[in-house]
Amino acid sequence: MKKKILIIIALIMIISTIIRTAVVSFSFLNFSNQLIENQTLLIKEILEETNDKEKFLQIIKNSHHINDIKFIPDQKTENIKIEYNFKTQTITSIAPFDDNGVLQITFSGVDYFSKLQSAILQLIAIAITSLIIIILIVNYYLTPYLEILEKIKQSTEEILKGNFNQKIETKLKGEAKEFVDSYNNFLTKMKNSFGVIEEKYTALIEKEKSKDPLNDAKETIEQLANIFQFKRLIEDDATSNSILNRLIDIIKGFNINHFALVGIDNSERNALLIYSQGDICCNLLENFESCRAYRLNKEINSLKFKKICEFHTCKNEYICLPFSSGGNFTGILKIMTDKEKDQELLQQNLPYIKAYLNEVSAVIEAKYTLEILHNQTIKDPLTGLFNRRYLENILPTLIAAAQRRGEKMAFLMIDMDYFKKVNDSYGHEAGDIVLKTLSNILKYSIRKSDIAIRYGGEEFLIILQNIKSIDDAVKVAEKIRENVQNSIIDIGENSIKKTVSIGISIFPDHCMKGWECIKYADIALYEAKRTGRNKVILFNKQLKKETNYNA
């Protein structure tokens, strides 16, 4: 910086010297022009009045400051012209004399050019002397201040590297000393504050120190703020699926294009693929207990240890991160990459991804556990179908929705024929196998929008939503009946075949209330069993009269 200041001062002095020299030269020129013009006019006037012009011209020529004077015929000029010849050091004036020509006078310019040169040299000498004096003075007084600025620059560069120990010193007193002391005090406070900030955020995020700690701290704090907002958001989500969907969006936001998210139900001992983008590259779903990340509950990173997982089948690199592994749910996030640039970016973002997973862990475990408890209250533990309690809660909503949309619903009451004989002949364990088999047939025979319920004992209820016609309900019922009839059920060493009877009622064709529809389906079921079993009966008004039922 000192060099720049001195260069600027030198430039200012040079420019000012050039300007002063030009001004002096111009003043000299004006003065000499006026002097030459006055002398020329004087000589011209004398010549015009004298009779012996030749004699007067000879006298003028002998003058020490005039080199030559002569008439030039056949030339004209309106005003006096003055020409300077630096080479011959002469000044020539040409003035109009009469109608036949002009008067040309050549003056000696030796003294003029000598004085002009002397003036210019003096100006330059003064400028150089002034420049040296100013530079010495500026250098003496400005150097200590410039040294302070240079030290501040060096200290700032160290601050950007995370080093707050480079304080500055000065021999100056007064305001400069106060400024240096204030800067050092600021540096100390900044060091203490940043140390606390760095300690706190590194405790929250496992992150290595970077070459640019200040920018890294800024980025990390921004990410922590986003993670905090994310946590507050997922705490208000109703289901674990909602949380996992938000997590998927977060992962995509890190420009990760090849990953899989797997959920493992530790209570049921099964794995479910929640989301995948690209090949999962392993048999995690079929054999999750052998997964290294699941088994050890720790990060598996092939970027650090090549071929760390023997079950990975692709040639790309991978990172497997388990989360929420202390209860009913364990999530495995598997990220894969084959580009070096993507791997570097993944390594940079990995601490943030882990932080998101940590926030998800506690919340999703709580949600998942609540869902399990809720399912235990609304689902039959033997068959996994909804129970009667769930039916009581959902039935008014289903009827109201169907009425509002003007849709038909079918109620299929299903009963296993001669189920008591299974328990009596083969035992209750065999009976349970038969009921589980029937429940599986029901699940696979209906749509996802339909509802299967274990109504009680060996009796089941199917609610078909938004059917187009009564024939649709009858077709589904016949499909269930035939599937049961054609199934062979293994019960230990024996195999048996069973049949079901099915009664159907249609809303709003047969009934306008939920429990009324169930009752009518039950009446039709009774008729199916009374008339031979293994059949489907559709409710009609005659059956209602025969049973003497009034809703």
Locate the domains of the chain by residue range.
Answer: 2-115, 218-378, 388-547
CA distance 223 to 207: 12
Which CATH number is associated with domain 218-378? 3.30.450.40
At 179 the pLDDT is 81
What is the percentage of the chain residues whose pLDDT exceeds 70?
91
* Dihedral over Cα of 226, 232, 237, 243: its sign: positive
Range of lowest pLDDT (134-143, 279-288, 516-525): 134-143
Task: Report CA-CA distances (Å) from 305 to 147, 294, 299, 310, 341.
Answer: 50, 17, 11, 12, 18
458 noted as active-site residue: yes
Give me the sheet containing 66-73, strands edge to edge. Answer: 66-73, 101-108, 90-98, 81-85
* Dihedral over Cα of 326, 329, 330, 336: its sign: negative
Return the ∠ at Cα 383 (arms to 381 and 384), rounded to 5°: 65
Which CATH number is associated with domain 388-547? 3.30.70.270
Residue 201 pLDDT class (50, 70, 90 cuts): low
Helix (H, G, I), strand (E, B), or coil: what is residue 418?
Answer: coil
pLDDT, mean of residues 425-446: 93
The 8 Å CB, 24+ separation contacts for 229-236 are 230/356, 230/359, 231/359, 231/363, 234/359, 234/360, 234/363, 234/364, 235/363
Is 408:507 a contact under the CB 8 Å cutoff? yes
At 194 the pLDDT is 62
Q: For residue 551, is pLDDT > 90? A: no
CA distance 209 to 198: 9
Domains 218-378 and 388-547 share a fold: no
| Helix and strand numbers, DSSP H then E, in the chain | 14, 16
Q: For residue 209, is pLDDT > 50? A: yes
Short-list 193, 196, 220, CA closest to 206: 220
Backbone angles phi, psi at 301, to 5 degrees: -130, 110
438: tokens are 């029937």
pLDDT, mean of residues 251-257: 92
Which segments of 50-109 does DSSP mark as H helices, in order?
53-61
Q: Could you tell me which residues come within 8 angstroms of residue 197 by beta carbon, excluding any fewer than 6 positions away?
A: 217, 221
406: tokens are 């003007």
CA distance 452 to 458: 13
- The one catalytic residue in 175, 458, 482, 493 is 458
Return the ∠ at Cα 205 (arms to 202 and 211), rounded to 5°: 60
CA distance 428 to 420: 10
Question: Of the ranges 153-157, 272-276, 341-345, which is most confident?
Answer: 272-276
CA distance 254 to 277: 14
CA distance 386 to 380: 6
Q: Could you tell me which residues come within 8 angstroms of residue 51 by beta carbon, excluding any fewer than 6 positions away?
A: none
Identify which has the larger pLDDT, 27 or 344: 344
CA distance 130 to 118: 18
At 211 the pLDDT is 61
Q: For residue 549, is pLDDT > 60? A: no
Identify which has the larger pLDDT, 528 or 152: 528
Is 155:168 a contact under the CB 8 Å cutoff? yes
Q: For residue 146, is pLDDT > 90? A: no
Helix (H, G, I), strand (E, B), or coil: what is residue 173?
Answer: coil
* Dihedral over Cα of 432, 436, 441, 447: its sign: positive
At 505 the pLDDT is 96
pLDDT, mean of residues 369-395: 85
Identify which has the larger pLDDT, 478 or 361: 478
Q: For residue 419, is pLDDT > 90? A: yes
Ramachandran area for residue 209 (φ above 0: left; ψ -120 to 50: alpha; else beta):
beta
Q: For residue 348, is pLDDT > 80? A: yes
pLDDT, mean of residues 317-326: 88
At 74 the pLDDT is 73
Name the burial class of residue 14, with classes exposed (0-12), middle (13-18) and buried (19+) by CB atoms within 10 angstroms of its CB: middle
Q: For residue 309, is pLDDT > 70? A: yes
Residue 324 pLDDT class (50, 70, 90 cuts): confident
Average model confidence (pLDDT) for the chain?
84
